[in-house]
Amino acid sequence: MAPVPSLPVPPRAHPADRVPSVPSVALLGRGLCHTAGKAEGFGPEARTSPPMAKYNSTEELYGALAERCWEFFVHLMRNVTAPQLCDWKVISRPYSWLQECLEGSAEHLNYSYPNALAERFIFQSHHRYFHNCSVGDQVFDPPEDVLLAMV
């Protein structure tokens, strides 16, 4: 089993950087409300742990991990200038990282891959960054192993 790529914490994503079809609201805030009158600290003396987001399904958890993969991909792509967007030597690292992150996250959760959510993120990357890439009359295609992950 391949390890899940470590997800550096990107700066706050701009709302336009999010894939609109991912139900982000459904993934956030579960189990984080404290309704008691007095809040307690977290730590060894309190014998409690900080609240953790709870997911009702593997699909929800994968959705949250995939969203983090996407956010970091967007962060990496901010360093790529417009003329570089169609240069595979420049974009191969962030593009491959996105694909490996989506695949590794699915594998870690024993979730099927490729899957519809991963495909949405891959297609979103093409729509947002690579839609104008062509060489003469040929359409830009990544190497075969990356392309197969999309199919």
| Residue 142 phi, psi (nearest 5) | -70, 175
- Does some domain include residue 42? no
**138 assigned to some structural domain:** yes
Please report the pLDDT score of residue 120 as a whole number.
96
Q: What is the mean pLDDT of residues 121-128?
A: 95
In a domain, 64, yes or no: yes
**Domain contains 18:** no
- Give percent of the chain with pLDDT exceeding 70: 54
| Assigned domain for 3 exists | no
Q: Which residues, including other chains, have CB under 8 Å from residue 84's CB and lie 6 or more apart?
A: 90, 91
121 belongs to a structural domain: yes
Give dist(CA 140, CA 126) in Å, integer: 10
Q: Is residue 146 part of a domain?
A: yes
Whether the ω angle into residue 114 lies within 30 degrees of 0, i.e. cis, is yes
DSSP, residue by residue, 113-132:
SS-HHHHHHHHHHIIIIITT
- CATH number of the domain enclosing 121: 1.10.150.510
Please determine, for residue 48, whether its predicted confidence score (pLDDT) is greater than 50: yes
Looking at the structure of the chain, the number of domains it has is 1
Q: Are 30 and 54 in contact (CB under 8 A)?
A: yes
Domain range for residue 127? 56-150
Query: pTM for this one?
Result: 0.59
Could you tell me if residue 79 is inside a domain? yes
Q: Which carries the bigger pLDDT value, residue 1 or residue 61?
A: 61
